[in-house]
Each structure stands twice: as C-alpha cells, then as structure tokens.
C-alpha cells in the first residue's frame, strides 16, 4: 500500500507539476476530481464535475474554491503538501490552489494499487488540464478558437502543424499515402461509370539525384511524361486535361496567367462535355469529377497559386448551384462564371494595373524588367502606346532564357531595348531608374514569390536605391506564408542545365558522378523590404498590406 | 473520346504478289500469327478499346471462321467491308467510313510491326495541337539473301525535318520530283536549319484531326493518304491561304449552333497562348509556330523495331524478328516433336505440327498443322500452314506457302514456293519462284 501510495504521490506530483506549470488553479482541482473519479464513478460526482467544468469555463474561479473543497474532502487523496510546487505562475491563484490540496491531504486515503481506471483518469485529467489551461489563455482573446481547441486532444504539446504533402517527398510513408490517395480518387470518380478498366492516375516517379536541401520536393524529367502511363485514347481523364497536362510539363504553356487561363479553358471543355449520371447531383458530382483531373495536373506540374485560387473559385461556383437547376442551365451558368472570372481577374485587372503603372512611368525613364512577365509586357506596351518615352533593359537568365521572348515582344512594338544576362545586373543598375517585376504569387506575409533571380535583382536594386515595383493581380494573392525559398519550391528538369556546344556535351552523364548534383530551381521569394510598391488593380499598396487585401476579398465572397 | 483507331487492312500487297495471290495480306502468317494481329496488339497495348477495321469480305470471313487464325484481341472490332476490286485508296476508305468518325483519328496500316511507344506520336499531336502527326523509323537494311524475282529498287523518300527533329518541313517522293529538290524560300526563312533524310521508313501510322476528314470528303481527288494527303498537308503548312481557313468554313457549316461557345473558347485559347512565354524557335521576330495554324509533326524512332511488311524482303525480315518482340513459347504445346530431332532455340513451331526424327530446324518458322518427315534439314526458312515436307529434304532460306507439298529428297535453296504447289521428288531448285499457272496468267 505504501509503495502504491508513493507511486501515486509521484504521479500526482508529476501531474500537479504539469498543471502548476500551466498556472491554473482550476486544473489542480480537476486533477483531484478526475483522480477520484477513477475510484468511484458515482452519478453525483459526474454531475458535479460537469457543473464545475461549466462554471470554470465561465471564469468563476474564486467561487469554486470553497465548492471544490467539499467533494474533495469526501474523496481520498493524499497529495502531500510538499507536492505543491511553488512554480505556479498565476500568483493570485496560488494561495487558493495551495489551500485546496492541503485540505485534501487531511482526508484519508483509500487508494488501492494502480488500476487501469486510474491511469485513464490521469490521462483524462491531463487532457482536461490542458484544455482548461488553453481556455484560460484564450479567454482574454477571442472566444471562438476555444471551441476548436477541443478538436486535437491527446497531445501533451500544442498540436504540431502538419506539413503539406507536396513538400514531404523524401518521406516514403507520405509518398505511399499520396499514391493511395490518387488510387482512391480514381476509383471514386469511376464509381458510376460503365468503364471496366480500372486505370489509376499514375504516380510520376522522380528523376535523378536531388540536391539534399531540396530532397523534399519532386523532380521530374521532361522525357518521361505522365502520358506514358495512361491509355492513349484518354477516357478516364478528359482529353483536354491530358492535353493541358502535356503542355504544362513541356513548358508550352508557361507563366502564371497563361496557366490559369488555359486551366479555365480546359475546365470549360470538361463542363461542356459533362453529363450528370442518374441519381447524382451536378453540384457534388462535378466537383468529384474534377478532383482526379486536378491531381493529374498536379503530377504534370505543381499547381501555381493563381491556379489554386481559380480552382477554389470554380469549386465554389459549382457547389453553389441549386439542386433544382436543370443541367443545361447549370452548365451555361458555370461557363459564364468562368468567362467573367477571366474577364474580371485577368483582362480587366491588367487594364487597371497598367493605368496605375503608367502613372509611375515618366519620360526619360530607364526601366529594368526580368524574364518574361505577361503583365509587365502588357504595361510597357500600353505605356508606349500612350506616348511615354522610355527605354527598357531586359535581364535574362539560364536555363529558361525567357527574356528573349520578352525582348521579342517589346521590340516588335518598337520599344528600345537592351538585353543583358543576370550576371551583368550590377553593371547596368546605375543607369536604371525603375525596376518592374512580375510575380507568380504574393504571400500573406508580404513576400513576393517569383521566378528565380527576382530576389537577386531586388536586392541589388535596393543596394543602388532604385525603386522596385511589383505588378500583380489580386487573384494571385495566396494565404501561404514563407520566408525562404527552400521550404516550398519547384524543381525543374535538371537536364535543362546541360548545354551542347559544337557537338560536345560535357555533362552528358552527370548522373554517374556521385558528388555532382544539378539543381534547376524555378521560384524564389523576395522579402518585402526590397519591394517598394505593389501595383494591383485595387491600387498601389505596400507589400505588407497583402493580408488586408486577402481579408477584404474573403469578406466580399 | 479523344482518338478513334482505324486499321487499314484492305491493301492487296501489290509488291509481294507471289505470297498474296492466294492469301490476303492481312492474313499472312508472321511468326505464326496473322499479320493483322501485330497492329491490333499495338493498339490494344496502348489502351484502345475499339478499332474500326477496313478490310475485304474475304478477310472478314476468314477472321471470323478460321480457327487457326488466333487473334486473341480483347478490343471490339468494327469491321467495315469494301469491295476488293473497287481499287480504293486509303483516303477513299476514310471517305467511305466518314460517318463513323467522330473525333480525331489514328490510322494504322495492317502491315506494321513495331514496338514503338505510341504515346510519343500522340503526345506531339496533343501538345502542339497538330493537324498531322506520324511515325517514322530509321531504316535498317537487310543483308540476307532472299528469294526475289528481280532487283527491287524503291523510290527514295525525301523527308525534311527541323533542327529539333520533330516538325515536318518537307516531304516528297523521288517519283514526284522531276528535276531536283525544290524548297520554298518561305520555308527556309522560317526554318533556317533543315535536315533532309532519305533513309527513313514511313510506318504509315498517322494521327489526323477530324477536320482533315472533312477536307477529304470535300476533295474527292485525293485517294491515297501517304502518297497525296501527307505531302499536301506538309506543303500547306507554309502556304498563305492555309487549309485552316477552309477548315473553319466547314466547321462553321456543320456546327452552327456551337459557334458562339466555340468562338469564346478560341478567344480563351488565344489569350492563353498570348500570355504564355514560350516560343518554339528563337532568333526571329515571329510568334510561336510562326503564327501558322496547320502543323505537321513526325516522331522518328531511333531505336526499336519497326517493320512494314510490304515486300518479300521485309516479310522474311519480319518473320525473323517479330517473334522476339513478344514473349511467347517458341514451340506450341500441341506440336508433336520427336526427341531425336534438333529444333533450334530461335525457331517457332506452330500448333499441331508433326516433326519426325532426325530433322534439324534452325532459325525457321513452321506453321500450324505442318508435317515434317524424317531427315529433313530446314534452315532460315518460313514454312506456312498445312505444308507437307517429305523425307530427306533440304530447305534453305526459302518461303513455302500454305498447303504446299515438297517431295522426297528435294533440295530447295532460296526459293519461294507458292500456295498449294507440289515440288516433285529429288528436285533441285535455287533462286526460283514456283507459283501456280493462274498466277502466271495474271502477270
């Protein structure tokens, strides 16, 4: 008995220490009660417990002190007075907390050896202590999240945030889970069809050695397209989606705006060819049909933030279709939604942005642009048409060499251009008066995610005190937060870095070199300190106002 | 549905009449399977579930009734019959079945034996929104002696591809060129680097857009795909009044009610390609594809097998190679082979064969229900179905067609024995073609 009591005491100490660390007097009382629960689960006690919990949640701490003492005295517990550690943070609660166990210690002990019920009780106690402490902490804040805190129980530490699956490629368990999810999606999509062949959406396998810092990302080869593994007359996946995936993976459709527009076009084809199966609702079935297509496109090339927002919009529109709506009407409505989305968010936004941006371009300016951003090209062409006198320096980088395309489009319009590679940026910057950059996405903490090399240019421009203006439509704003370019990025085909000159390819068998890795990054993030202004169709805002825009957008929707 | 497969199996095999005067070309045995099985297998492996087979009544009857012609295909075959003597070209055949064609089509010829990954050809078709995409292969020359009547010299095909090796810029047959090769300046301006190749084998596998079928319906003068349509399309890529405008007229007439939506879709596609920072070439000021709407692509196989069985040479070659393509038991389980015979590892024995003692069979194909008596030596030959070979024969490098009988002690070297022929005993034939008298009359 003594030993068991001693064990109990140590256990209690541990629990109480933990509870005390939370600094909550209520938790101590709860522990005692919960412990006692294990021994005698009478209805009275349960009811009382519940009542007291409710009272605790309302925050009547002081009143509880006396009420708690009463039932506790009846129970047996032997929390030694010494086990009350002085480590309680809430000083005001300390005296009452100390008083409670002291009173309890006077009660006789009936404790027998440790039983399963008691272990359970202790676990429950820990959970309740944690919950109560969380509620106490959150009470000064908002009430709403407290209800959510009940959801993840059973963890001593606060709930660990889960990493998204697409950046856990080096964990085999996650990859297996993804494969299973693709299988499941495929089968659920085929649930009502008559197709006999059960073709899964294939899993594209990684290629080549991945540099260790980026081993958590996928790296695919352009020579191994996903279409190798699906049947040729694409019956499982809509043909326009297969075509789109191919165009993504081969880079024929590249650039954030182009990808979103092409995606919406493909979705229009899907909607046009869609017919509701019997006993199904269009709203739910169509969304389910789109899921495997989106997985397929994700395998061909990771989705961009703009595409993600477009998909969210479409899914929302589809789910909002009332069930009594006829199929033809619903389809027409959806198609017009898509068209209006493209019109508003892309075409008209570009017009609005160029209006603001043209104000910023004065005569005699030397503007530096990087790579090929459709929006920046549009702005420059519009400015040229409005008779502004400026010249452009196009900065380009390997392996994509997209600057050549930007150069071609600008020169076609008649704009005077200079072309340099990114290694020459610090040499040309003294002549530059402004830098215009495009963005792939704007993150919620004000960071700009754009083509790799953009942060470099922004940094050097800052060093030369040249203003950096980022042009970005609001539909590219995303709620992700990222402070470095490692945690979430895209790895392109490493063979693109290999160059053949005069018939000789030096890196032809780079894979046989064990200590050599080829890294072809696609994106990088620029901190908001380097960006002076973001031009959106809502106006010209500083980088740090992105979360405000997001909040306003969410409220609007 | 994305693609419909069309298998052209109505050809007469005009370049190997000795073999085909009795057996239609699609039913010629290659590695003890009918020739038509190979393209059907290719389509099945690629995932097709339905094939439209254009063939003659004779072939259709044979396929459905004859047990020996095991097809083993799980796909649904829609057989369309055309008259054998109608002398229809491949384009005429497409015109004949145009009602059945609802989407883009993949046309395959029945004499194609290949292990190409079909997605390479179709991906070019999909990704670049091409009008035509075809398969070509680097030719392998055959050096084996084969029974030929006279030296067959084929007209060369000149194929011009761009520097990436994917886009078709020029295609002409030597027969069509009077004096020399003429390349238009507009082509050279757009594609300064062109590789012209003559050693390529055209596999007769084409992916065509639906609008091409409509075009064929309008222009009844085109009768052959390979001979007329493909060179025409390749030329039209660079002409100013391109075919695409005519295609648009046709599509407008046929889909009037879908005009508005189609126009909007086109606008979206146009917007996407404008915003995309991709170009298929660099160095000049024109946009992707030089703004051309009509594009022809070719996938050139560098490695792997690709045979077209349209001459005797290629038939023998294919027989040698085809069985290796597919894992199959070389010796059919129902064949009866005596223990004292030697059957080489690279020989194929068909069903219900009887191979007697002291025979030696090396690098040969023996058809179904063939009887080979004692002391026969067969090397590098193709023996078709139901042939009887008496004792003591020595057959080398020959092709013996169905139902032939080779008499005792005959010595046949590099010959072609036609269907149902009898070779008398103790005959010695070298480099000969033994065919029936009715065949001689046809000539």
Question: Is B165 a residue whose pLDDT tops 80?
Answer: yes
pLDDT at B280: 87
Question: Is B17 a residue whose pLDDT tops 80?
Answer: no
Report the C-alpha dihedral over residues B188, B191, B194, B200, rounded to 10 degrees. Answer: -110
pLDDT digits (tens, 9 = 90+) for A165-181: 666 777 778 778 877 77
Tokens at B196, concatenated: 């012209």
Mean pLDDT, residues B182-194: 90
Mean pLDDT, residues A497-526: 91
pLDDT digits (tens, 9 = 90+) for A21-48: 444 455 555 556 555 555 555 778 788 8
Q: Which secondary structure element, helix H or strand E, spans residue B59, and what is its range?
A: helix B57-65
* Inter-CA distances, A517 with A4, A397, A512, B227, Å: 60, 20, 10, 50
Question: Is A72 a residue whose pLDDT tops 60?
Answer: no
Say yes or no for a CB contact (<8 Å) between B49 and A235.
yes
Say yes or no for a CB contact (<8 Å) between A261 and B275.
yes
pLDDT at B67: 60
Question: Is B317 a residue whose pLDDT tops 60?
Answer: yes
Name every chain B residue with its beta carbon within 8 A of the beta carbon of A374. 274-277
A 10 A CB-CB count for A297 gives 24
CB A260 within 8 A of CB A307: yes
Highest mean pLDDT among A406-420, A506-520, B192-206: A406-420
Mean pLDDT, residues B196-219: 91
Q: Residue B126 is nearest to which of A235, A243, A372, comparing CB atoms?
A: A243
Q: Which of residues 296-335 of A touch B (CB under 8 A)?
A: 335
Say yes or no for a CB contact (<8 Å) between A197 and B49.
yes
Q: Residue A232 is nearest to which of B3, B279, B282, comparing CB atoms?
A: B3
pLDDT at B141: 55
Mean pLDDT, residues B312-338: 78
pLDDT at A392: 97
Instruction: Provide the pairing of β-strand A365-370 with A390-396.
Output: parallel
DSSP state of A304: P
CB of B263 within 8 Å of a chain A CB? The answer is no
Mean pLDDT, residues B421-439: 79
Question: Is A361 a residue whose pLDDT tops 90?
Answer: yes
pTM score of the predicted model: 0.77
Name every chain A residue with its beta carbon within 8 A of the beta carbon of B47. 197, 199, 230-233
Domains of chain B: 3-240+292-321 (3.90.550.10), 330-434 (2.160.10.10)
Residue of B121, B127, B258 for testing the chain A interface, max A β-carbons within 10 Å: B127
A302-306, B229-233, B423-427: which range is least confident on average? B423-427
Q: Which residue has the higher pLDDT, A101 or A128?
A: A128
Q: Which residue has the higher pLDDT, A111 or A316?
A: A316
Q: Which secondary structure element, helix H or strand E, spans residue B34, and what is its range?
A: strand B33-34
pLDDT at A424: 95
Q: Is the ipTM of this complex over 0.90?
A: no
Question: Is A212 a residue whose pLDDT tops 50?
Answer: yes
Mean pLDDT, residues A415-425: 96
Name every chain A residue with its beta carbon within 8 A of the beta carbon of B264. 339
Banded pLDDT at B106 (limits 50, 70, 90): very high
Banded pLDDT at A194 (limits 50, 70, 90): very low
Tokens at A100, concatenated: 């409670």
- Report how far Cα B231 is from the mean position of its chain's Cα atoms: 18
Question: Is A358 a residue whose pLDDT tops 90?
Answer: yes
* Inter-CA distances, A414 with A283, A330, A372, A376, A406, Å: 49, 46, 17, 16, 13
Q: Which residue has the higher pLDDT, B328 or A27?
A: B328
Q: Which residue has the higher pLDDT, A32 or B400?
A: B400
Banded pLDDT at A80 (limits 50, 70, 90): very low
Name every chain B residue with its beta carbon within 8 A of the beta carbon of A258. 272-277
Q: Which phi and psi angles does A253 have, rounded to 5°? A: -110, 105
Banded pLDDT at A247 (limits 50, 70, 90): very high
Q: Which residue has the higher pLDDT, A241 or B292?
A: A241
- Report how far Cα A70 is from the mean position of its chain's Cα atoms: 50
The pLDDT mean for chain B works out to 82
CB A447 within 8 A of CB A485: no
Alpha helices, DSSP H, located in B312-399: 312-325
A310-314, B296-300, B332-336: which range is least confident on average? B332-336
Mean pLDDT, residues B129-147: 74
* Long-range contacts, stretch A311-315, CB < 8 angstroms, 24+ apart: A311/A263, A313/A341, A314/A264, A314/A267, A314/A290, A314/A338, A314/A341, A315/A287, A315/A290
Residue of B52, B272, B282 for testing the chain A interface, max A β-carbons within 10 Å: B272
Mean pLDDT, residues A361-380: 95
Q: Residue A402 is nearest to which of B3, B275, B277, comparing CB atoms?
A: B277
Highest mean pLDDT among A155-159, B175-179, B378-382: B378-382
Mean pLDDT, residues A503-520: 90
DSSP result, B258-306: GHHHHHHHHHHHHHHHHH----S--SSS--GGGG-S--EEEEEE-SS-E
Report the C-alpha dihedral over residues B199, B205, B207, B211, rounded to 10 degrees. Answer: 100
pLDDT at A42: 74
Question: Is B144 a residue whose pLDDT tops 60?
Answer: no
Highest mean pLDDT among B23-37, B159-173, B306-320: B159-173
Percent of chain A with pLDDT over 70: 74
Highest mean pLDDT among A104-118, A128-142, A194-208: A128-142
Say yes or no for a CB contact (<8 Å) between A261 and B127.
no
Q: Residue A254 is nearest to which of B128, B278, B285, comparing CB atoms?
A: B278
Question: Is A64 a residue whose pLDDT tops 80?
Answer: no
pLDDT at B258: 55
- The rounded distance, in Å, linking the Cα atoms of B194 and B202 is 19
Mean pLDDT, residues B294-321: 87
pLDDT at A362: 93
Banded pLDDT at B74 (limits 50, 70, 90): confident
Question: Is B442 a residue whose pLDDT tops 60?
Answer: no
pLDDT at B387: 87
Question: Is A262 a residue whose pLDDT tops 80?
Answer: yes
Highest mean pLDDT among A156-170, A335-349, B13-27, B262-276: A335-349
Residue A269: which of B334, B103, B331 has the closest Cα? B103
CB of B129 within 8 Å of a chain A CB? The answer is yes
CB of A252 within 8 Å of a chain B CB? The answer is yes
Q: Residue B119 is nearest to which of A232, A251, A412, comparing CB atoms?
A: A232
CB of A348 within 8 Å of a chain B CB? The answer is no
User: What is chain A's length?
Assistant: 557
pLDDT digits (tens, 9 = 90+) for B33-63: 888 888 988 998 888 888 999 988 888 888 7
pLDDT at A453: 95
CB A182 within 8 A of CB A237: no
- Report how far Cα A86 is from the mean position of its chain's Cα atoms: 42
- Report how far Cα A500 is from the mean position of its chain's Cα atoms: 39
pLDDT at A39: 54
Cβ-based neighbours of B60, under 8 Å, separated by 6 or more = B79, B81
pLDDT at A467: 96
Give the neighbor-by-neighbor strand order of the sheet with B382-383. B348-349, B365-366, B382-383, B399-400, B416-417, B433-434
Q: Is the peptide bond before A399 cis (omega within 30 degrees of 0)?
A: yes
A66-70, A299-303, A522-526, B423-427: which range is least confident on average? A66-70
Q: Which residue has the higher pLDDT, A360 or A33?
A: A360
Residue A133: which of A72, A96, A89 has the closest Cα? A89
Name the minimum distance, in Å, from the CA of B208 to any CA of chain A: 14
Cβ-based neighbours of B305, under 8 Å, separated by 6 or more = B113, B114, B115, B321, B325
Mean pLDDT, residues A291-313: 93
Residue of A233, A254, A374 for testing the chain B interface, max B β-carbons within 10 Å: A233
Cβ-based neighbours of B403, under 8 Å, separated by 6 or more = B385, B386, B387, B419, B420
pLDDT digits (tens, 9 = 90+) for A453-493: 999 999 999 999 999 999 999 999 998 899 999 999 999 99
Beta pairing partners, A477:
A442
Question: Is A8 a residue whose pLDDT tops 60?
Answer: no
pLDDT digits (tens, 9 = 90+) for B350-369: 888 888 888 888 888 888 88
pLDDT at A51: 87
Helices (H) and strands (E) in chain B, counts: 12, 32
**If DSSP codes are grouped into helix, strand and coil, which group holds residue A387?**
coil
């Amino acid at each position: 008995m003594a030993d068991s009591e001693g064990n109990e005491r140590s256990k209690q100490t541990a629990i109480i220490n933990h509870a005390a660390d939370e600094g909550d007097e209520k938790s101590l009382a709860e522990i005692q009660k919960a412990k006692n629960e294990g021994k005698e689960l009478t209805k009275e006690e349960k009811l009382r417990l519940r009542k007291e919990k409710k009272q605790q949640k309302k925050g009547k701490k002081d009143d509880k002190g006396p009420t708690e003492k009463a039932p506790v005295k009846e129970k047996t517990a032997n929390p030694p007075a010494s086990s009350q550690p002085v480590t309680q943070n809430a000083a005001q609660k300390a005296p009452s907390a100390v008083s409670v166990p002291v009173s309890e210690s006077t009660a006789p002990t009936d404790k027998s050896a440790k039983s399963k019920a008691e272990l359970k009780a202790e676990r429950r106690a820990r959970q309740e202590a944690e919950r109560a402490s969380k509620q106490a902490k959150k009470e000064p804040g908002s009430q709403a999240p407290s209800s959510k805190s009940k959801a993840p129980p059973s963890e001593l530490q606060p709930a660990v945030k889960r990493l998204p699956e697409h950046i856990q490629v080096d964990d085999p368990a996650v990859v297996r889970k993804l494969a299973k999810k693709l299988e499941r999606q495929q089968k659920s999509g085929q649930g009502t069809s008559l197709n006999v062949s059960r073709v899964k959406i294939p899993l594209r396998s990684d290629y080549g050695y991945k540099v260790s810092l980026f081993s958590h990302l996928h790296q695919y080869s352009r020579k191994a397209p996903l279409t190798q593994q699906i049947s040729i007359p694409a019956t499982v996946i809509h043909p326009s989606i297969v075509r789109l995936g191919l165009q993504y993976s081969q880079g024929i459709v590249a650039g954030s705006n182009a990808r979103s527009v092409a995606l919406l076009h493909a979705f229009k084809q899907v909607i046009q060819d869609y017919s509701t199966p019997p006993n199904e609702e269009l709203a739910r079935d169509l969304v389910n049909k789109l899921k495997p297509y989106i997985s397929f496109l994700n395998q061909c090339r990771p989705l961009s933030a703009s595409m993600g927002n477009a998909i969210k919009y479409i899914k929302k529109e589809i789910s909002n279709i009332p069930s009594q709506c006829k199929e033809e009407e619903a389809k027409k409505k959806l198609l017009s939604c898509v068209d209006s989305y493209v019109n508003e968010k892309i075409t008209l936004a570009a017009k609005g942005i160029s209006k603001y941006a043209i104000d910023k371009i004065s005569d005699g300016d030397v503007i530096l642009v990087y790579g090929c951003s459709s929006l920046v090209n549009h702005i420059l062409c519009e400015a040229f048409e409005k008779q502004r006198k400026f010249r452009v320096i196009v900065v380009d980088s390997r392996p994509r060499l997209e600057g050549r395309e930007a150069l071609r489009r600008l020169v076609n319009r008649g704009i005077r251009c200079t072309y340099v590679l990114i290694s020459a940026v610090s040499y040309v910057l003294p002549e530059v008066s402004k830098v215009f950059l495009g963005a792939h996405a704007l993150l919620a903490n004000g960071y700009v995610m754009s083509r790799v090399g953009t942060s470099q240019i922004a940094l050097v421009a800052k060093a030369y005190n040249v203003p950096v203006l980022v042009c970005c439509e609001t539909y590219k704003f995303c709620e992700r937060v990222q402070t470095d370019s490692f945690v979430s990025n895209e790895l392109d085909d490493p063979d693109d870095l290999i160059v053949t000159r005069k018939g000789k390819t030096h890196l032809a068998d780079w894979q046989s070199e064990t200590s050599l890795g080829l890294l072809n990054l696609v994106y990088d993030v620029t901190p908001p300190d380097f960006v002076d202004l973001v031009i959106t169709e809502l106006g010209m805002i500083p980088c740090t106002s992105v979360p405000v825009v997001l909040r306003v957008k969410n409220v609007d929707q | 549905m994305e693609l419909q497969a069309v298998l052209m199996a109505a050809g007469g095999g005009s370049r190997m009449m000795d073999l085909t005067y009795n057996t239609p070309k699609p039913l010629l045995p290659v590695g003890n399977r009918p020739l038509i099985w190979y393209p059907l297998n290719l389509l099945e492996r690629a995932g097709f579930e339905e094939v439209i087979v254009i063939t003659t009544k004779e072939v259709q009857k044979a396929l459905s009734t004859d047990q020996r012609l095991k097809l083993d295909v799980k796909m649904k075959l829609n057989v369309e019959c055309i008259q054998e003597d109608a002398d229809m070209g491949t384009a005429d055949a497409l015109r004949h079945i145009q009602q059945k064609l609802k989407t883009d089509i993949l046309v395959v010829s029945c004499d194609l034996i290949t292990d190409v990954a079909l997605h390479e050809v179709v991906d070019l078709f999909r990704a670049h929104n091409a009008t035509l995409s075809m398969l070509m292969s680097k030719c392998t020359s055959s050096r084996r002696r084969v029974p030929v009547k006279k030296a067959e010299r084929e007209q060369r095909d000149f194929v011009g591809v761009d520097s990436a090796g994917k886009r078709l810029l020029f295609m002409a047959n030597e027969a069509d060129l009077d004096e020399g090769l003429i390349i238009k300046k507009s082509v050279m301006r757009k594609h300064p680097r062109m590789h012209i190749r003559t050693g390529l084998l055209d596999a007769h596998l084409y992916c065509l857009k639906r609008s091409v079928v409509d075009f064929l319906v309008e222009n009844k003068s085109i009768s052959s795909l390979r001979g007329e349509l493909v060179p025409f399309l390749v030329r039209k890529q660079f002409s100013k009044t391109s075919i695409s405008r005519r295609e648009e007229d046709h599509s407008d007439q046929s889909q009037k009610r879908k005009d508005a939506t189609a126009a909007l879709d086109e606008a979206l596609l146009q917007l996407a390609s404008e915003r995309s920072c991709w170009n298929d070439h660099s160095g000049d000021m024109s946009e992707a594809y030089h703004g051309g709407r009509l594009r022809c692509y070719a996938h050139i196989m560098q490695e792997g097998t690709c045979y077209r069985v349209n001459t005797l040479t290629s038939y023998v070659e294919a027989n040698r190679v085809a069985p290796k393509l597919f894992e199959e038991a070389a010796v059919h389980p129902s064949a009866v082979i005596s223990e004292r015979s030697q059957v080489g590892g690279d020989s194929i024995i068909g069903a219900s064969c009887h191979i007697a003692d002291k025979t030696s069979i090396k690098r040969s194909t023996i058809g179904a229900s063939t009887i080979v008596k004692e002391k026969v030596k067969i090397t590098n030959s193709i023996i078709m179905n139901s042939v009887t070979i008496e004792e003591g024969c020595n057959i080398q490098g020959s092709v013996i067609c169905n139902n032939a009988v080779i008499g005792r002690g005959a010595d046949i070297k590099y010959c072609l024995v036609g269907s149902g022929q009898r070779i008398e005993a103790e005959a010695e034939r070298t480099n000969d073609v033994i065919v029936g008298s009715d065949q001689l009359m046809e000539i």
